[in-house]
Amino acid sequence: MSDGPGFIFWGLFVVFGLVVAGYVAWMLWHESREHGRSTGSPGSDLRRDGGPGGDDASGAPRSP
Amino acid sequence: MTLQLTVFLSYLVLVFALGAFAMRLTRDEDDYWIAGGRLGWLLGGATLAATHASAGTFIGTIGVIYTVGWSFSWLVLSIPIAYWFTAAVLAPRFTRTRQLTLPAFLESRYDSRGVRVLGAAIILIATVVYIQAQVVAGGLIANVVLGVEPLTGMVAFTLILIVYTVVGGMIAVVYTDLLQLVVMVLGAALAVPLAIHDAGGAGSLLAWVQATRPMAFRWDAMPGTLLFTMGLAFTLGSVATPEKLIRLYAMKDLTTIRRGVLLAIVVTTVMNLMVFVLALCAIVLFPSLATGDLAMPMVARAVLPPLLGALLLAAVTAAMMSTVDSLLIVAGSALAHDIVGTLAPRFVARHSHVWIARCGVVATGLVPLGLLASGVGEGELVQFIVLLFTALMASSFFAPVVLGVLWKRATRQGAMSAMVLGVSSAFAWELWGSEAVDPVLPGFVVSMTAMVTVSLLTDPPPQSALAPYWPADSGGD
């Protein structure tokens, strides 16, 4: 590992940028996949499938 | 000083106005605890980010980096990792039933009131610790800005928080969180270039820090085990703390959650990075502070023009308030909804649920203040109190929540063992264990081990409890 203010300092910014880019790519991939799957279907929200849970659970789907 | 006071008071008036506005929107318990489950990605992401950014960020983190150096700042990567895990793995199943609190989820998944009450009790106790850390920071700020005694500042901040949280519930918290996030980002973004300028420019800043504190840019400034286990605490805690989990119920669907999480990741991490740079500036400008926790107030008071200094301190206050109001909601719901609601259902049936909720918030808000007035918890470095809370939450809830939605075989006995043994191990380690290892490691290992072992040794949970979380397949794992 480097001891100077090189990688320990700048590397953090680079790694963070890469992680955010990865998340955005994953999110867009997810949305495009769901968009393709959901044409004509109720949508991607898994909670639409959910039934009632505990005493608070109405089981009602969320507002779209 | 007058200008700082004016900025402060204006900010507080705005917060109160939002609280009053939210009160008019709060019609029932759903609105009070989870904002009706209607939040879009902007409000949802903002409240997640504002809740994450606490006094720990603006006072504690800067204090630790001032003291031990830049290696600690790498723990910020726990934020995107934890939130990504939440959005990708946890949220799709965790939100399949609509609950108002984390303990209510535990009862739903494990078909057990005992699990619910136990979870609520742990939340109540640990939250008191966390609120104390924030209130201590509030006292420091009040001391620097207004010149009042820290204890007076702590009392004033806590009372302000209790009032607007009691009045407006989660809706008030969400709207004030958005305001507080804007103030935080603005305060930090304006402070960084000015502080760097005062420190002689970016190149000079880094060279100066390296020359005067060579350890600041070394990986071994902190024990590697401590750094790793603290990272584990932040990661697991960011997944399993109740005030963050409950926000998944407050957002309206999974697409909203994914977008909100992106907003939270970007804003929280960038804000942290700005604060870290301020810590380096503080090393150059104030090389011999008595405690690292004073670094941010000193930057705000001595480096920045009065208006910006006031804005930065308002940002610190905002960070503290946005966390404590969320914790008050979580602790209040644990007391009123989960403990009183479960143990005394007849009492609850006779009274307005929102009224009981408000009483719960007041009661849990006053406890940490009482403890601080008695001298308990005063003088601890803020960031380490925050870490302790995170470790306790992760040790208690990570296994029951995550395995609860990923592993059908997880049973109520397993969940109770995981919570009790996990939190006990973490707490015992904090008291008697090695300081080179964060308590989250023993807590997490014991909790997961207990969850798996006890679950396998006990009868599988009933299909009725599993059905909401595995609707398409009710078979074994």
The rounded radius of gyration (Å) of the Cα atoms in chain A is: 21
Please state, in angstroms and rounded to a whole number, the distance separating the CA atoms of residues B9 and B30.
Answer: 31
B278 has pLDDT over 50: yes
In the predicted structure, residue A48 carries a pLDDT above the cut 50: no
Which residue, chain included where needed, has tokens 């109770």? Answer: B416
What three-state secondary structure class fits B39? Answer: strand
Between B138 and B272, name the one with better pLDDT. B272
Best CA proximity match to A3, nearest among B273, B203, B74, B221: B221
CA nearest B173: which of B269, B75, B31, B281? B31
Chain A residues with at least one Cβ partner in B under 8 Å = 1, 3-5, 8-9, 12-13, 15-16, 19-20, 22-24, 26-27, 30-31, 34, 43-47, 49-60, 62-64
The pLDDT of residue B420 is above 90 = yes
Handedness of CA B248, B252, B258, B263 (dihedral sign): negative
- Could you report the per-residue pLDDT of B210-264, keeping only the tens digit for each? 888 888 898 888 888 888 888 888 898 888 888 888 888 889 889 999 999 999 9
Residue identified by tokens 């003291």 is B67
Phi-psi region of B432 (alpha: psi -120 to 50; beta: other; left: phi over 0): alpha
pLDDT at site B51: 84
pLDDT tens track for B370-399:
777 776 655 555 667 777 888 888 999 999
Nearest to B102 by CA among B89, B92, B86, B115: B115
B269 CB neighbour count, 10 Å cutoff = 22
E strand intervals along A1-64: none
CA-CA distance, B440 to B57, in Å (whole number)? 19
Which residue of chain A comes nearest to B249, CA vs CA? A62
Show the tokens assigned to B44.
């949802």
Taking the CA atoms of A58, B331, B395 and B339 in sequence, report the sign of the dihedral they define. negative
Residue A10 CA to residue B266 CA, distance in Å, equals 17
* pLDDT value of residue B415: 96
- A9 contacts B70? CB cut-off 8 A: yes
Collapse the DSSP code of A6 into the 3-class scheme (helix H, G, I; strand E, B; otherwise coil) and give the result. coil
B155 by DSSP, 3-state: which? helix
Cα gap B474→B477, rounded to integer Å: 9
Q: Which of B240, B219, B218, B220 is nearest to B440 (CA)?
A: B240
Contact A64 B73 (CB under 8 A): no
Longest Cα pair distance anywhere in chain A, in angstroms? Answer: 57
Write the secondary structure of B109-153 as one string of H (helix), E (strand) and C (coil): HHCCHHHHHHHHHHHHHHHHHHHHHHHHHHHHHHHHHHCCCHHHH
Tally of CB atoms within 10 A around B346: 6
- Do A55 and B104 lie within an 8 Å CB cutoff? yes
User: Which pLDDT band, with edges at 50, 70 and 90, does A43 fall under?
Assistant: very low
Query: Letter for the amino acid at B85?
Result: F
Handedness of CA B85, B95, B236, B61 (dihedral sign): positive
- Burial grade of B475 (CB within 10 A; 0-12, 13-18, 19 or more): exposed
Tens of pLDDT, residues B9-66: 787 788 778 877 877 787 777 887 788 788 899 999 998 998 888 767 877 788 889 9
CA B271/CA B191 separation, integer angstroms: 11
B474: nearest Cα among B398, B380, B426, B408: B408
Residue whose pair of structure tokens reads 């918030």 in the numeric block: B361
Tell me the C-alpha distance between B75 and B229, whole Å: 10
Taking 80 as the threshold, does the pLDDT of residue A19 lie above it?
yes
Give the residue on A whose Cα is nearest the Cα of B77: A16
Q: Side chain identity at B335, as an amino acid letter? A: L
Q: Which two tokens stand for residue A45?
A: 């929200």
**pLDDT-wise least confident of A39-43, B122-126, B406-410:** A39-43
Q: Dihedrals φ, ψ of B251, to 5°?
A: -85, 150
Task: Decide if A54 and B104 are in contact by the 8 Å CB cutoff.
Answer: yes
DSSP B294-350: GHHHHIIIIIS-HHHHHHHHHHHHHHHHHHHHHHHHHHHHIIIIIIIHHH-HHHHHH
Show residues of chain B in contact with A23, CB under 8 Å: 80, 84, 262, 265
Other Cβ atoms less than 10 A from the Cβ of A37: the count is 11
pLDDT the model gives residue A53: 35
Q: What is the dihedral of CA B76, B77, B80, B82, to 10 degrees?
A: -90
Q: Which of B421, B289, B37 is nearest to A57 (CA)?
A: B37
User: How much is the average pLDDT of B447-459?
Assistant: 96
How far apart CA B398 and CA B423 sit, in angstroms, is 11
Which residues, numbered 91 to 110 in chain B, qualify as contacts with chain A under a Cβ-Cβ cut-off of 8 Å?
Answer: 92-93, 95-101, 104-105, 107-109
CB < 8 Å to A13, chain B: 273
Q: How far apart are CA B29 and CA A56, in angstroms?
A: 10
| CB within 8 Å: B108 and A53 | yes
pLDDT digits (tens, 9 = 90+) for B123-156: 888 887 778 777 777 777 777 766 778 778 778 7
Going by the DSSP 8-state scheme, the letter that residue B97 receives in this structure is S
